[in-house]
């Protein structure tokens, strides 16, 4: 079971979730352990720069949309790494708040 399965299940039911992701890949956007609020992606127009909960090549991330090409979204972190391209069905939620 991957770290985000529980949150993805709740998001798929239309629920908003909060959690404290660990790691430094989003430094400058959110710090390790900082409380984030993630809402279901439905109803949101995804844009470059949005922080999203997604799955790229089988791995779950709370990372940025770095680029958009038609129906494809390039996912990467905030320190220069690109994870890959996904369709919107691999994006489960959008981060709407990072606690101070």
Biggest alpha carbon–alpha carbon distance for the chain: 34
Is the domain spanning 5-98 CATH 2.10.109.10? The answer is yes
Residue-level pLDDT at 1:
61
- Looking only at the bridges linking them, the beta strands covering 51-56 and 82-87 are unpaired
Q: In this model, does residue 39 exceed pLDDT 80?
A: yes
- Nearest of 40, 45, 48, 33 to residue 16 by alpha carbon: 40
What is the percent of the chain with per-residue pLDDT over 90, rounded to a whole number?
94
pTM listed for this prediction = 0.95
Name residue, tokens 């320190």: 79
Q: In this model, does residue 62 exceed pLDDT 80?
A: yes
Per-residue model confidence as pLDDT tens digits over 65-95: 999 999 999 999 999 999 999 999 999 999 9
Helix/strand/coil for 92? strand
User: Can you give the residue ranges of every domain in the chain?
Assistant: 5-98
- C-alpha 74/C-alpha 64 separation (Å) is 8
- Average pLDDT value for the chain: 96
Q: Which are the contacts of 9, defined by CB distance < 8 A and separation ≥ 6?
A: none
């Amino acid at each position: 079971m991957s770290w985000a399965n529980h949150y993805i299940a709740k998001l798929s039911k239309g629920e908003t979730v909060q959690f404290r992701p660990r790691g430094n890949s989003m430094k400058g956007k959110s710090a390790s352990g900082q409380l984030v609020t993630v809402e279901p992606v439905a109803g949101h127009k995804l844009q470059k720069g949005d922080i999203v909960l997604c799955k790229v090549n089988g791995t779950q991330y709370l990372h940025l949309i770095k680029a958009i090409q038609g129906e494809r979204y390039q996912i990467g972190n905030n320190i220069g790494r690109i994870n890959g391209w996904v369709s919107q069905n691999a994006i489960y939620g959008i981060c709407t708040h990072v606690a101070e």
